[in-house]
Amino acid sequence: MRIVILMGSPRKQDSLNVCKEIELRLGTKNMTYDYIFLKDYEIQDCRGCGLCFKKSEKLCPCRDDLDIIRKKLLEADGIIIATPVYAYQVPSPLKRIIDRMAFLFHRQELVGKPTLIVITSDGGGHKQVGKYMKMTISGWACNLIGIISII
Ligand SMILES: Cc1cc2nc3c(=O)[nH]c(=O)nc-3n(C[C@H](O)[C@H](O)[C@H](O)COP(=O)(O)O)c2cc1C
């Protein structure tokens, strides 16, 4: 199974440690783990034209690395989305790709992908972020298998 791990944090600390622990428990037999540190990709802000969901995502005026991430998600057998809480929301590297992939709410190409959400926080806002991520995953039509929230 190929697990793709979307890392929302701009740093490699708490949420990465939780993912490494999950990796340790799932083991390496027939498993591969592909970490995508979103901070390392060039992802432009959504410009709000709406062409992606009105017509086709191919008409998106942004030219950046989004398709690389999208392809990895498409090819994954399972997805982990790991995020810290930043000011009661997900941090910008993750929010940016959720906005840019808003067309997935209309064309659900990731339908049925088993998806685990990992949230780390200092204890404020993890419920809101859990709810937000749950709605996002449901909009993508992925199969939410759980939310791990660590304070
Ligand atoms: C800019 C910034 C904003 C934060 N906002 C919140 C917050 O609103 N609520 C909270 O509980 N923790 C907040 N935190 C703490 C982080 O969510 C927490 O330390 C988390 O475990 C960091 O995970 P990471 O090491 O994977 O980035 C914030 C941290 C930073 C740097």
Mutate which of 85, 89, 95, 119 for ligand 1 pocket (most atoms within 8 A of beta carbon): 85
Closest alpha carbon to 97 in 147, 123, 125, 60: 60
Contacts of 137 (CB under 8 A, 6+ apart): 81, 115, 117, 144
Predicted TM-score of the model (pTM)? 0.97
CA 136 remoteness from chain centre: 9
pLDDT at residue 126, rounded to an integer: 98
pLDDT at residue 76, rounded to an integer: 98
pLDDT at residue 96, rounded to an integer: 98
Closest alpha carbon to 118 in 38, 5, 34: 5
The three-point CA angle 99-72-11 to 5° equals 65
pLDDT at residue 24, rounded to an integer: 97
Sites in the chain below the pLDDT cut of 50: none
Mutate which of 14, 86, 94, 148 for ligand 1 pocket (most atoms within 8 A of beta carbon): 86
* Closest atom, ligand 1, to C-alpha of 88: 8
pLDDT at residue 80, rounded to an integer: 98
Task: Please work out whether the CB of residue 122 comes within 6 Å of at least one atom of ligand 1.
Answer: yes
CA 140 remoteness from chain centre: 11
pLDDT at residue 112, rounded to an integer: 97
* Closest atom, ligand 1, to C-alpha of 121: 17
Please tell me the distance from the alpha carbon of residue 126 to that of residue 51, in angstroms, as a whole number. 32
Angle between helices 92-100 and 66-75 (to 10 degrees): 80
